[in-house]
Each structure stands twice: as C-alpha cells, then as structure tokens.
Structure 1
Amino acid sequence: MPATRSTAGSSSRSSAADRRGQMNDVAANPYDAVAYPGHAFSQTHPAKLATIAHIHGMSPAPMAGMRVLELGCGSGGNLIPMALRFPRADFLGIDLSRSAVELARRNAGALGLANVAFEQRDIMDVSAALGRFDYILVHGVYSWVPQFVRDKILAIFGELLAPQGVAYVSYNALPGGHLRDIARDVMLFHTRDVSEPLERVRTARAALKSFAEATDPDSFYGAALRKRLQQVDELPDAVLYHDDLNPIARAFTVHEVVSAAAGHGLKFLAEASFPNQFGTAGGAAQQLLAQVGTEDPLAREQSLDLLIGRSFRETLLCRTEVALRREMDADSLSPYHLSAYVRQVEISEQERRPGVDRFQFQQGVAVSIDLDSCKAALRALGRAWPASLGHGDLIARALAEIGPVADREREAVRLSEALFAIFKAGLLDIRLEPPQVANTISERPVASRLARRQAESSSEVTDLLHRAVTLDSIVVRKFVCLMDGTRDAEALLADLNLFLAEAHASGEAPPGLPKLATRDEVLMHLEDVARLALLSG
C-alpha cells in the first residue's frame, strides 16, 4: 500500500480447505490478532467511479439505487459513509475477520442503517448467488493474498459485475515496488523467526534502521533504504505488520493485472486517480509518451509507470463489450460539477508580472494565471468550496465578474480550455452528481451525523466528500459533537465552555486544554468545520 495511507480493511488470507489444505480458522486470522485501521477512501467512492465511467462514454448506475460490493471491507469504514449518504442504495461488505465484521455491524446499527450488510465470509466462497453489482471495490487485498485468491477476485468481477458496472482493484505496482522490496528484504529476513505481531514490528523497524544508517548514503542502495526508512517511520504498526511484513505480498505491472482480467471478460477503463497528472508531463518525458501514442491506453499507462517509477495503482475495469470513448477536449467537462479548494496568493516582487495572478490549490500546487475569466472562475470555486459548481454556472459567474468583453463566446471558449488544462493537471475535481455538502454556515449549523459520532472517540472523521480528515484537538472534536442543529453560535459557545469547565474540575484535562473559549474562536471553528466539508447540506 502507499506509504502515506492505510487500506480500508482486511482480506481473505486463505481459501476453501480443499483448494489449499489450510485451515480456515477465524481465530488464526492475522486481522483478528491485529486490527487494521479502517476509514474512508475517496478514490473508491461510486460517485468518483461513476464520473470516470461517464466521461469514458459509459452509462453508470445512478447513485440512488446502486448496488455496491466491497471485498475486504474491514470494520466498515469505507462502506458505512456511503450507506449513510445513499439510503436507497444497497451495500454489502465481506471480510474474513470476525472481529472486524462484528465492529462494522455495531457501527452500522448505531447509525440505524438498514441498507448495508456485513458478512464474515471467505472470498473463495463468494458466488453468483449474491446477484449483480454496479460497483465492486477491492482495496488493499490483491497484492497481499495467494494467487488463487487473486484469480477468484477477478472471477468475481467477471461474474457479478453489472453490464455497465465498474470494478475497482488496488495493488502494489511495478517498477516502484522493486524499491520498496529492498527494505522488505531486510525486514523479512530479520523477522523470519518472530511470530508475535508487536515484536515482529519492533524487530523489523530496528533492523531497517540499523541497515539503512550503515549503508553508503551516496549509493543507490543506501539512498533507497534511507528513503524507505523515512516512510516506514510514519506508518502505524498495524499497517507495517499487514502490508510490509506479509511474506507473500507482491507487486504487479498494470499490464499483468489487465491481462489476467481479460480472461474474465474485463478490460481496462482508467485509473481511479483519473486524470493522471503525469500525463501532462513536459519536456523529454512528454516526447517519450508521445511516441507511445494514444491508441493503446494501456500501453501509455505502462509507459507512465516505467517513466515515474509508480509503486501503487488503483485500476478500474469494465466489461469487454462496453464501448469506451477515449478522446477528451475542453467541451468534455460541460456535463459535470467542478470543485477545488483554491485561493489567490501573493506574488513576490521578483516574480510579479503585469496581469498575472497566482492561485494555490489544496495539493500545494501554485499556478500563475493571466486570463481574467480564469482568475474569476478560480475565485468562484474558492468561494464555493467545499460545494461544487456546474460547468455552465461557473462559466457564467466568471464572465459576469469580469464584465463586458469584445467577444463573449470566444472568452467562454478560452475559459473552458483553461479549466480543462487545470483539470488535466489533476487540480480540479469533477462529479456527475454534486456532493451534498454545505458551504455556508446556518444559524444552527449541523455537522455530519457520522462525523459527530466518530469525533466522540477519534480525532479522525469522515467528511462529506468521503475523505478521512483529522480534527487537531479535543476542543474541535467536542465542538463537532455539539453541532447537531439545536445550537446557534451563542449556545455552542456556552456548551463548549461548560465542557472545558467540567474537564478542568475533574482533574482530567489534558495538558494545554484552554479554560475558556471565546466567541471569535467559535466563529473560527465554524469556518474550519465548513472548510473540512463536515457541514451537512
């Protein structure tokens, strides 16, 4: 898995006994021994997958009545937010870990969800009896199971995917996976005789640190070990244990996965990270990719991997008989709703040029813009965040802001082209169906029901864009819990101060906890909650 992210859940590490001679003993499942952190993954959300399918000419199922299956669902951190958002849709999660499934059921029950079910089941036992699904998600499983289970996953796609359905599968990718395996070789060798999970993690970390620091930092090998050590230091123990210390884990080229899928009537649709921002590379890289051509999208994707050393993929598959549209131009964005967390920033005296303004996106990328209508459009998106604007509405707002122009139609075309270029760079999010999220603070604001529940026991909550976000203090967590629609700003301030007073009076206040909140701080918290896409709309 990527070094900065954990997977949504666990997976089947065994199959039917007659296939492998292994005991399907739930008590022996490593995911019962060490729970895997479970949360939402925006790249797996059906709204994202439906948009990618639609832009490629497919007719994806509407969100309201869709059927979604997740293999390796863990404790439901990925499915439950979807089920809460789409009450008329149907969701099914399957996982081998009994403890994870039981937790998922408790969490879904606490929210009163009747449209999501969780089953403790081996992937090898999944059959056509479950029916057809519009979206099938397999995140953090494919690279970490035996080959026969991988074959079964692709067979499930072929058997259960609806005619216009989309299957999502993530896996460690090559050639970048080779660099990761340099560190895995060190850790797996030194933990070969260690079985206790926490001791296995401790031994692996210590071994990697010792070897990385002892290598020549100027050598390729030494640089690779040191870089991976930095990444491993940021991984939670459970993630390292399941992802890197799994001895059967392996990485794949995208053409390997797609070739195997073809045997089950499937073909490559796109990457969940679409549009691939590396596709806009310049200079020698762009010239090299141009030689590959656009006729074979899979060849282009494989060339990209070889060019950038990709180590993780999130591949989307569809049925072979589906006709796909690969060509895109500036008009391609017209059916969609656009969003971006973007703001205008100052330009230094040395970099300042007449008519040029700079905008910074959430990804940390700064873009210099000289087209007045594009500047106006980005300001409009910034004001609308986290909500989205329809493409036509955005064009109209931008043109209205800049005032009369000599050729309004030509200006609209130029703006569409500029927005398309920003989209291809991976800086604009597009949705076929706009997310239901508020961007204004009402008199009695309401935070997401799921986020309120999660904030009671965790600093990580799921926002209404299906992302895992962190609330940076116990005060903010309590503030989110209070935002149930019954309190205005004054009541929020009063109840927040009551919480602070009780915490200090009990003697259990954590270090640094303030004794009193102010009205200005409440207003700041409200703005933060809105920016984090936690306000229900």
Structure 2
Amino acid sequence: MHRELRSGDRLPAPLPEADRRGSAGEDAMSGWGQGYITDIGYTRTHFRELMPRYLALTALLQGFRPPDPDQPFRYLELGCGRALSLVAAAAAHPESTFVGIDFNPEHVASARRLIASAGLDNVVVHEADFESFAAGALQGEPYDFVTLHGVFSWVSSDNRDHIVSILSRCVAPGGLVFLSYNAMPGWAPMMPLQRLLRAKAEEVTGRSDQRIFEAIDFARRLGEAKAGYFTANDGLSAQLTRIEGQDVRYLAHEYLNQSWTPHAFPDVADALAPAKLGFVGSTHFPNNVDRFVMSGELQTLVGTVSDWRLREYTRDLVVNTVFRRDVWGRGAERLSQDEQQHLLSRIRLVAIADFPQPPTAFAIPVGEIRFSQDMARIVWSALQSGPMSIEEIGRSVAFSRENWLDYLTLLVHAGRAHPCRSAGTVAAATRDRARRLNAALQDEARVPAVAAFLASPLLCGALPLDPADQLLYRLWTDHPEMDDASRADRLRNAIADHSLIAVPEGGSLEELMAERANAGAVAARLRMWRDLGIEP
C-alpha cells in the first residue's frame, strides 16, 4: 500500500536563525502591518484550487460556464504571499497575464526573485495593500480569474470592505472568484483557544515563531492538567496534536493575527453581493453533493430550506465545516444539461499517482463510498496512459454515467488525478519555462522539510512532492545518467540519513525504504513525471 511521507516534530520548533526572514528591525506586528504578522514570512506553498483549470472544472461540475483556460485570460491573486501558485500557473500559460499583490515586502521580493530566476515575462507581483489597490492605481483591465486564499479570515473588517471594492471593479463579466476562509460552525470550539494562543504569545518576547511555540506549549500543558475548557471539548486535544505537526510559519499567521475572524456563509454572501457575485460551488468536491455529506433524512430536511444562503449554511452545520473553499461568479451563465455535458466531455484528466492498483474506496463525510473494481480498473488504466477526455473515458466504461463521473470527481478530489491539457498542445517553449521554474525552485530549497512541488506544463500547474520525492528529484537532476537501481540505492541511503522524513504511525523505516527506494518504484515515479512534462 502506498504511504505518503510527512515531516514535522510533535511540537513545532522555532525556525532556525538563518530561516527567520523578515524585514530588518521589525516587530511582530509593525505599524504598517495593520495587526497582521509581518516579522516572519508565510509558507512556501502551492494550492491546486487556485489553478484556472481546477476552477473551470469546479464551475462545470456545478453547471456554470467558466472562462476558457485554453484561451488567453487575465488572472489576479490578492494576498499572493510568495506567489508560488501564481508563478506555477503563469509558467504554464505564456499567452495569459498574471498579477499578484501582497503588502509584505519580504513576500514580494521573494516572488520577484523566483520570477526573474525562471525567466517568466507574463507575471508581475506588486507591493500594495488592499486599500491602495482598491483606489485603482494598479487595476487596469478586469480579470477572468481572481483568487484569495485564506486572507479573508485574517484581515480587518476595513480590509474586507476594500477586498469587496476590488472585486466589484476587477472581475470581468463571466469571471470566477476563488475565496477561501475559516468557517463557522467548525471553528466555534477553537475560538477560545485562538484567543488564548494570541494572548499568551503577546506575553512572550521574541519573534512570532518563538512566541507561537511558547503559546502552544502552554495550551498543551493546560490540556494535560485537565483544564475545564479542554475536558468539556473532546476534540481539542486532538486538534492541539494536529497543530503541533504543522509549519510554524502557518501557525503564526493563522493564530496570532489581531483581526482573525471565522465567517458564516450567509455573512460572506451578503458581503460579496455589492460586487455582483453569485455562488457557484466548492472546490472541495464532495461538499457539492448532498448524498456524499448527509443522510437521507438530513437531505430531506435541508431540501425544505428555500433561501440559498441559509441552505448552504445549514449544510455547513450538517458537515461542521471548518474551512470553505468557494468559487463565485460575476454573471456566470447557468448551462443547460446538454451544454454542461458537452463542455464536461471535453475536460481532460490524467493520473498524478503511480499506484499499480486503482483506488476503489474514498472517505466522505457520511462514511465511505466504494466503487466497482472492474470500473475503477478501466478508468484508472485510462488515466495512467496519458491525458484522456471525460468523453473518451465514458466510451470505455459500461457503467452508469453518474457512477463513473462520481469516481472521476473523487479521484481528482483525493489528489490522484488532475485536470490537464492535451499532451500534443504543450509547446517546447512551455516545457522549457517549467524546466526553468523547477530549477529555480530547487535552487531555493534548502532542505525538504515540508512538501514542495514541481511545475508541470501538462497539468498547467504543479505536482506536490513529499520529502522523499524531493530527494529523488535532486538525484535525478544531479545525476541524469544514473540508472534506476543506482538511484534507488542512493535514495535509500538519503532517506535513512534524513532526519526530517517521518515514519508513518505503525510503520518502520525499513518498510518505507523497501516501498519507495527500489528500482521499480523509482522507475514508475520518474515515468509519471516525464509523462507530466517534468524533466531534469
């Protein structure tokens, strides 16, 4: 069975001195930071939900016409951080225009270095806050795709108003907006803990990574001492354990911002109404399908709610939603069933996992859904052979459309498949852009302490890497002449020597090395990378 390798200690240690990057002489929340953490930068992370093809697939599955990602488009990311998602998309779409804004000069400098190193000429990152951008100095023509990942929960109410002002002027008719945020009711039990962590961190001197480290340790000791809040909320201990394995940069930005606010869906919908945005659906695909998230009795009950805002919030209450990943549209056209099926049939998908046997079971909020081994084998084999249109897949499967389309949707959701372009449409120049970006990313990476990614011109985005994959990719690029057996030997030694690669619970280092560091596994992984347009 394939195991994903993760890294991280039980308690998130403060960053090494060389990695504590922030503007020189800065306090945790500088005057220009408006209550936002600025003394350490955010994580180096790629989010597939921000990719144009992923957003287009979300809209089509929900019956809306998206902008065509195969035609030139304009893309804007608000609060882009280090802009890794933005840059990965830009590398794959040389004919389109990409713009990012972030108010943290460290993030902007990091993004600009990466853009310059990769030699990309269709993407720019501006240093600007939401207020100045809303004033119109940098807006220009409207955008077909606008994305904001998480920032809506981390900024002040004034800045949320500025965001809505930007959206009201920057989204093209028919354009899509991705907006993710901490949601109610899932965050409700955690609100006192967040307040505790922020208050305790304010009591501690030092940088934000040190302060969140001390605050989490204090909260853990309260839990171990059976403080009433912890004993009354059964899930808190598990939540603290989960927090302790996360990147300290994320934790500082998540828990220490002064304006941290989880939102209820109706409030977000009302806030976005002046920007003429209507709800399209969630990029968390199971949440769009009632039978995946609630019992028959609950489906009937939720079906009695006529107001769409309340209905969606009721679904959040059913699922206990913690984080929403929503797509909104400005005048998005509702498709007829025939139009939807026609456009969906042209979507191409490809496998991005090298399992020899097809996945047949998926965890969903109401338990588990299982699919026929025969159907799964046919679909999985097709996806592993290269990009396949949904129409081509459907012709090869003698099962109901709903059944195999559910299977494809859950494969994508689980990160086993991904929307892509036709292999024959990837120009040599686009492959070269991806190669340059991957070289720049490897130059930036010091140690594979967290999952990284490789730009893929076929996916029009990126492929996530676990730490063992990072080690293998470096072996591949440093020693392209080496055979797979020799690479497997080197990888086995590297895994054994690398303290940042954690052994999954119940497993052993020997099992991991046997599974991932053998010639067959190495050959399969490299073959998949080549098929995705990833080259050394």
Q: TM-score range by the shorter chain?
A: 0.7 to 0.9
| Runs of 5+ consecutive residues of structure 1 not aligned to the other structure | 6-21, 346-356, 399-410, 439-444, 504-508, 514-519
| Runs of 5+ consecutive residues of structure 2 not aligned to the other structure | 1-6, 9-28, 426-431, 502-516
Q: Answer whether contact 1:380 1:394 (CA < 8 A) is retained.
A: no
Q: Which one has the largest radius of gyration?
A: 1
Q: Find the aligned partners of 2:297 and 2:149 in 1 and give their Cα distance.
A: 33
> Residues 500 and 362 (structure 1 numbering): CA distance in 2 closer, same or farther, change over 3 Å?
same
2:296 maps to: 286
Q: Find the aligned partners of 2:89 and 2:522 in 1 and give their Cα distance.
A: 26
Q: Is residue 70 from structure 1 mapped to residue 77 from structure 2 by the alignment?
A: yes
Q: Answer whether contact 1:35 1:238 (CA < 8 A) is retained.
A: yes
Provide the alpha-carbon RMSD of the alignment: 4.2
SS of match in other structure, 1:257:
helix
Letter in 1 for 2:401: S
1:416 maps to: 401
Among candidates 466, 491, 497, match of residue 470 of structure 1: 466
Letter in 2 for 1:422: Y
Q: Find the aligned partners of 2:45 and 2:422 in 1 and give their Cα distance.
A: 19
Query: 1:317-396 maps to which residues of 2 (within 5 A)?
Result: 317-319=328-330, 321-325=331-335, 331=341, 333-339=344-350, 341=353, 359-360=360-361, 368-370=370-372, 372=374, 374-381=375-382, 383-384=384-385, 387-396=386-395
Query: 211-220 vs 190-199, which deviates more?
Result: 211-220
> Residues 58 and 493 (structure 1 numbering): CA distance in 2 closer, same or farther, change over 3 Å?
same
CA deviation vs aligned residue, 1:30-57 (integer Å, no higher than 9, x gap): 6541011122100111111122234423
Q: Find the aligned partners of 1:426 and 1:528 in 2 and give their Cα distance.
A: 18
Among candidates 442, 447, 451, match of residue 438 of structure 2: 451
Q: Is residue 461 from structure 1 mapped to residue 472 from structure 2 by the alignment?
A: no
Deviation, structure 1 residue 182 = 3.2
> Residues 158 and 533 (structure 1 numbering): CA distance in 2 closer, same or farther, change over 3 Å?
farther
> Residues 511 and 92 (structure 1 numbering): CA distance in 2 closer, same or farther, change over 3 Å?
closer
Query: 1:260-271 maps to which residues of 2 (within 5 A)?
Result: 260-271=271-282
1:135 maps to: 145
Q: Answer whether contact 2:92 2:433 (CA < 8 A) is retained.
A: no
Q: Answer whether contact 1:32 1:97 (CA < 8 A) is retained.
A: yes
> Residues 154 and 532 (structure 1 numbering): CA distance in 2 closer, same or farther, change over 3 Å?
farther
> Residues 496 and 391 (structure 1 numbering): CA distance in 2 closer, same or farther, change over 3 Å?
closer
Q: Find the aligned partners of 2:388 and 2:40 in 1 and give their Cα distance.
A: 43
> Residues 436 and 482 (structure 1 numbering): CA distance in 2 closer, same or farther, change over 3 Å?
farther
Q: Answer whether contact 1:455 1:461 (CA < 8 A) is retained.
A: no
Q: Answer whether contact 2:488 2:522 (CA < 8 A) is retained.
A: no
Q: Find the aligned partners of 1:368 and 1:462 in 2 and give their Cα distance.
A: 30
Letter in 1 for 2:452: V
Q: Give the TM-score of the pair, scaled to structure 2.
A: 0.74
2:421 maps to: 434
> Residues 452 and 296 (structure 1 numbering): CA distance in 2 closer, same or farther, change over 3 Å?
farther
1:349 maps to: none
Q: Answer whether contact 1:455 1:477 (CA < 8 A) is retained.
A: no
Deviation, structure 1 residue 215 = 2.0
**Identity over the aligned pairs, expressed in percent?**
20
CA deviation vs aligned residue, 1:110-130 (integer Å, no higher than 9, x gap): 110010101111111114443
Query: 1:2-401 maps to which residues of 2 (within 5 A)?
Result: 25=32, 32-55=38-61, 56-126=63-133, 127-128=135-136, 129-196=139-206, 197-215=208-226, 221-276=232-287, 279-281=290-292, 285-293=295-303, 297-319=308-330, 321-325=331-335, 331=341, 333-339=344-350, 341=353, 359-360=360-361, 368-370=370-372, 372=374, 374-381=375-382, 383-384=384-385, 387-398=386-397
Letter in 2 for 1:215: K
1:352 maps to: none
Deviation, structure 1 residue 76 = 1.7
> Residues 322 and 176 (structure 1 numbering): CA distance in 2 closer, same or farther, change over 3 Å?
same
Deviation, structure 1 residue 423 = 4.6
Letter in 2 for 1:454: L
Letter in 1 for 2:265: V
Letter in 1 for 2:320: G
Q: Find the aligned partners of 1:87 and 1:396 in 2 and give their Cα distance.
A: 33
Q: Answer whether contact 1:68 1:133 (CA < 8 A) is retained.
A: yes
CA deviation vs aligned residue, 1:508-533 (integer Å, no higher than 9, x gap): x87899xxxxxx95553232244468
> Residues 113 and 218 (structure 1 numbering): CA distance in 2 closer, same or farther, change over 3 Å?
closer
> Residues 69 and 370 (structure 1 numbering): CA distance in 2 closer, same or farther, change over 3 Å?
closer
The aligned length equals 465
Among candidates 513, 525, 528, match of residue 525 of structure 2: 528
Q: Find the aligned partners of 2:433 and 2:126 in 1 and give their Cα distance.
A: 32
Letter in 1 for 2:315: L
Letter in 1 for 2:379: L
> Residues 274 and 436 (structure 1 numbering): CA distance in 2 closer, same or farther, change over 3 Å?
farther
Q: Find the aligned partners of 1:421 and 1:397 in 2 and give their Cα distance.
A: 16
Q: Give the TM-score of the pair, scaled to structure 1.
A: 0.74
Letter in 2 for 1:462: F
Q: Answer whether contact 1:124 1:149 (CA < 8 A) is retained.
A: yes
Q: Find the aligned partners of 1:371 and 1:525 in 2 and give their Cα distance.
A: 26
Q: Answer whether contact 1:173 1:254 (CA < 8 A) is retained.
A: yes
> Residues 109 and 304 (structure 1 numbering): CA distance in 2 closer, same or farther, change over 3 Å?
same
> Residues 299 and 381 (structure 1 numbering): CA distance in 2 closer, same or farther, change over 3 Å?
farther
